[in-house]
Structure 1
Amino acid sequence: MNHPHSIYRGRFAPSPTGPLHFGSLVAALASFLDARHNNGQWLVRIEDIDPLREVPGASSDILHTLESHHLCWDETICYQSQRSSAYELTIDQLKAKGHTYYCPCSRKTLTTNQGVHSPECNPAAPSKLLPCATRFRATNHRFHWHDLLLGPQSYLASEQSDDFVIKRKEGFYAYQLAVVCDDIEQNITHIVRGSDLLDSTPPQLALYDALTVKPPQFGHIPVILNSSGQKLSKQNLAPSINNSQVSQNLKQALSALNQPLPQALCNAPAEEIINWAITNWSLALVPKRHSLQGGWLTGSEL
């Protein structure tokens, strides 16, 4: 399904730290349906820039689950592990504009010092004896944006306490840098994702501003909670999606997004469900809150 003349370009960007769980499927489905309903393109990116957390085979499992649920993507899959040169070039651009500095401070030190950096911070060049991360220098700037679901949002970024890492001490590129760099490269115009990433919007807007690039539109859907009130996640041992019950999975995911299937389609094949959902999708109907209690969804039903 290619739409070469569309101005809408969305994406789903999972990390290969394990197979998809129900919360991930809900996020992927929302992103996919919003793109397709708007005659847009939908891309998939594998965010595999943290090899210490990557699970062997997870990328293939994720792609298989998406295909099994008829969430078919446009264009070639982008793997962040193959994009190091682009990230390094972006860091050089930010450095040339005075937006970065080298930082040896640990997260524990910054937390203890309430965000104040150590005297050894911001050397002219990184030291081999004192490993340094590269941080983006925040300014006292208030960011305003209109979330597609949550409405007007505002955040005041404070220098030092809101400075964020764009390249880690170990040499790995950080999420905020990589995601913005890739979204720019792929001309992403709309990002529909979980509200657990709402806090990532201000630093990402800061990078767009520093790179003088217009940011995409953001929409944050509720995250799915388990019966204990915890966000469904791999860390919380959320069960993986059962690909043998695709229609049931899609029905439950649409229900979580407040897009209930008509009774006549409750036992329909997955392709019919997806086609109905594309036609009838409404982002305005998605619950406008940060999380949904998942007590109604038991582990055996996922």
Structure 2
Amino acid sequence: MSLSDILMLMLCGGIAGFLAGLLGIGGGMILVPFMILVFNHQGFSQTVIVHMAIATGMATILFTTTSAIWAHHKHSSIDWKLVASLSPGMVLGGLVGGSELFEALKTSWLSFFFALFIVYTSIQMLLNKKPKGGRDLPGPIGLFSFGTFTGVLASLVGAGGAFITVPFMLWCNVKPHVAMATSSGLGFPIAAAATIGYMYGSWGNPNLPAGSLGFVYLPAVACIVVVSVFTAPWGAKMARKLDVAQLKRVFGIMLFLLAAFMFNESRKAFGF
């Protein structure tokens, strides 16, 4: 990679890590558009670029969430019983979505689906709406089913699942700061399962460049993680000091711009 590509990935990694700690998100969706630019610059095959960007972004969540988890755990903010209850379904969903469905989706549809997810996320950020608590947490079967659904969806868009799990936990009367911190803990099993699925489902693909483990491009992972693991604890610390609602609105506007980029990538892939 060129120096400019490395610096771009490191900068994005720093931002993604900070937001992972601050907002409880994995940060993968921020990285994907920029990795597409880097991978295009390196001349990777157009048939795998979007898949590689999403898979590589998800792989970085393994490291980013670990750093954020430790920061939240020190303040006893994570509900580990809830993490243990939801994780089995998330692992199953992440494996299935990451290996079978992800490989089957064409670049055009994957780009379009990812762009739609960014729009949904940006609207949530801009409105900063918190669902009213309506019930208690469901039983084991309900938690497993919800976890499986979350794992499949998160693996298809390369996200840690916070935009699904946090509203769900708030609706089930989990305290807001606990829901945000617990979403970091849930990001790890989703990322681990999906990353394994990405690598297994694409192993031996002739269009992948050197340095790849399936769809995961290791040099990009290294550039991002070397910065994000340091900025994630900073974000977790600032979450208790900053006006997070205002930051969410700024982040939401930025996501709209990223969504426009992904819709354009989808248009080009469809041949419009």
Using structure 2 for the length normalisation, give the TM-score: 0.29
Larger Rg: 1
Taking CA–CA contacts closer than 8 Å with sequence separation of 6 or more, which of the two structures ends up with the larger relative contact order?
A: 2
Q: TM-score normalized by structure 1?
A: 0.27
More helix by share: 2
Q: Which has the higher strand share?
A: 1
